[in-house]
Structure 1
Amino acid sequence: MRLAVTGHEGQVAASLIERGRDDVEVVAVGRPALDLARPETIFAALEAARPDIVVSAAAYTAVDQAEDEKDLAFAINAAGAGKVAEAAARLGVPVIQLSTDYVFDGSKDGAYVETDATAPLGVYGASKLAGEEAVAAANPRHLILRTAWVYSPFGRNFVKTMLRLAAERHEISVVADQWGNPTSALDIADAILHAAAILRDDKSFAASGVYHLAGSGETNWSGFARHVLDASRAFGGPHASVRDIATADYPTKAKRPANSRLSSAKFADVFGWRSPEWRAAAEEVVRRLERFKI
């Protein structure tokens, strides 16, 4: 099976390349050959990749900057994602689209399920929701995977930021009133490869639709930070104390959901795959980062 993933440097793309198995060839397709802001590049780049399944992982992810760059965010996350799905449909293959917890406003008491009403708080979430709609309209053979709080050994992410700050200071202030499921991109890659193997042989694509895919268990940002730093200390890396603060104490241009918890029960039921517990997954990433000083 040949799997084409959009984006060269994204956390999910890098994780898919690493996790690729003997029976799965993962090909990353990104700029300049494929540029979501230049829709005329998309079909030719994917056609050249000769995929059996397309994973649409590239996105505009600058949450605060999106408030000032609405047109660009929508061009990439909505129109661009739709063009990727359309290209996959023209090639006769399914598309797996990565989406986000930011499609919700965070007001629910409990974990969000796929049928809950969407209500994005900012431009980034709105652009990703529009992308979900464009993908579903362009290619009936689609999986839309909403995830949250993604980290990995690759790229920029919360875990790497905490380790960097711990090497520079004794105390780090971290928001304590936002809750979610920390999710390793390595686990997202494993889930995608698992689902892709099933979808390859499912000509009817009966499993098409929206799914949540996040780490098992929940915490707040400060709890996530404490666990990361405790693991770092255990592996001989930097450590700092964490001071709880409120969202109001750390103002950002874009409003974040107070509750980003996602229930991944539907994905587990349909595909028979469940994310590892978030603490163990985070420890593995910290161990790698400290061992190899990434």
Structure 2
Amino acid sequence: MTANVLVIGRKGQVATSLAEAARAAGLTLTTLGRPEIDLADASSIHTAIAGSTADVVVNAAAYTAVDKAESERELAFAINADGVKHLAEACAQTGRPLIHISTDYVFDGTAPGPYAEDDPVAPLGVYGASKLAGENFVRAACPAHVILRTAWVVSPFGHNFVKTMLRLAETRDELGVVDDQRGSPTYAPHLADAILGIVEQIADGRDSGKWGTYNAAGTGEATWCDVAREVFEQSARRGGPTAKVRPITTAEYPTPAQRPANSRLDCSRMAATFGISLPDWRQGIAECVQRLHAKDQAGTGDAAVAGGEA
């Protein structure tokens, strides 16, 4: 069957990528954000889900300000935990499968290799703890669920590392970039394609063997320093901004929230269950830089070098 999809979230990287991918594929997909639905408002959640005609719900909305969460714990948990609880309950009550996007930040980063889905969780900060609480609410409230943990998301949309690097390179010849955190960079449009592939497989709700938790990230691994160098290599090929990248340690770039030193995700379970793997992270960076460069050349404002957190 061709699913009718409701995406919670409208302006974020994943929600925007899902809307774009659905248009390209000719799928029926609706994005819903504030004020129609607010994960901090339980009544709006139940009203929106009850009034929807969607076959599958994808939750791409979250409180994602990792550092700010350290001082806004109550708000982070209201959105990422309590709001997700109400969303999962509403999906269960109306018989809809829920695909919920989670994060590598549920892990503490001390594992020697890539994390598998069943490895012990131990979030280092408020953001990771709030997302883990949301996962647990989904498992408890909505049996027909797929939780997708992703990492290091970048795209031509919103605020992200690629945009920040290009913006900073407009005015700086050299940038210090952390080289002792290693992860699985993920291009949001590639993740969106994977999500829609999963939607098609679970839309009819008959294959309960596919419910559960999966890692969904770009293939390969890198440090932030590696990603920055790839960004500038791709930008240089197109005549865009570049800068020399100087490796630094996490200690040299202190932040309010502690980041996992290891955010690598083993995505073999998703490949085995759904037959879906995301492309290599370098391909995602190349596509991202190409699109940002094209937007910049076309003079479309927010385009190439909009701000964002590194």
Using the size of structure 2 for normalisation, the TM-score is: 0.93
1:233 alignment partner in structure 2: 236
1:289 matched to 2:292? The reply is yes
Paired with 2:207 and 2:194, the residues of 1 have a C-alpha distance of: 20
**1:5 pairs with 1, 7, 13, which one?**
7
Q: Is the 8 A contact 2:69 2:76 kept in 1?
A: yes
- Identical positions, percent: 53
One-letter amino acid of the counterpart of residue 237, structure 1: G
**1:221 pairs with 224, 243, 252, which one?**
224
**1:198 pairs with 201, 206, 221, which one?**
201
Instruction: Give ranges in structure 1 of 5+ residues lacking alignment.
Output: none
- Equivalences for residues 8-27 of structure 1 within 5 A: 8-20=10-22, 21-27=24-30
Q: Is the 8 A contact 1:11 1:155 kept in 2?
A: yes
The offset of 1:211, in angstroms, is: 0.4
Paired with 1:271 and 1:185, the residues of 2 have a C-alpha distance of: 19
Q: Is the 8 A contact 1:183 1:215 kept in 2?
A: yes
The offset of 1:49, in angstroms, is: 3.1
One-letter amino acid of the counterpart of residue 251, structure 2: A
1:147 alignment partner in structure 2: 150
Q: Is the 8 A contact 1:29 1:46 kept in 2?
A: no
Q: Is the 8 A contact 2:97 2:205 kept in 1?
A: no
CA deviations on 1:135-194 (whole Å, 9 max, x unpaired) are: 111100000000000011110000110110111111111000000011011011000100
2:137 alignment partner in structure 1: 134
CA deviations on 1:64-121 (whole Å, 9 max, x unpaired) are: 1111111111110001011111111122110000000000000000000011000000
CA deviations on 1:2-40 (whole Å, 9 max, x unpaired) are: 111111101110000000055521101110110011111
What is the DSSP-based 3-state SS (H/G/I as helix, E as strand, rest coil) of the residue aligned with 2:48?
helix
Using the size of structure 1 for normalisation, the TM-score is: 0.98
Paired with 1:276 and 1:204, the residues of 2 have a C-alpha distance of: 26
The offset of 1:281, in angstroms, is: 1.3
The offset of 1:235, in angstroms, is: 1.3
Paired with 2:93 and 2:54, the residues of 1 have a C-alpha distance of: 12
What is the DSSP-based 3-state SS (H/G/I as helix, E as strand, rest coil) of the residue aligned with 2:137?
helix
Q: Is the 8 A contact 1:29 1:49 kept in 2?
A: no
Instruction: Say which is worse superposed, 198-207 or 148-157, in terms of deviation.
Output: 198-207
RMSD: 1.0
- How many residues were matched structurally? 294
1:34 alignment partner in structure 2: 37
1:94 matched to 2:100? The reply is no
Instruction: Say which is worse superposed, 45-54 or 175-184, in terms of deviation.
Output: 45-54
Instruction: Say which is worse superposed, 5-14 or 201-210, in terms of deviation.
Output: 201-210
1:76 matched to 2:79? The reply is yes
2:67 alignment partner in structure 1: 64
Paired with 1:265 and 1:204, the residues of 2 have a C-alpha distance of: 19
What is the DSSP-based 3-state SS (H/G/I as helix, E as strand, rest coil) of the residue aligned with 1:206?
helix
Which stretches of structure 1, 4 residues or more, deviate above 3 A after TM superposition?
A: none
The offset of 1:44, in angstroms, is: 1.2
The offset of 1:201, in angstroms, is: 3.3
The offset of 1:225, in angstroms, is: 0.4
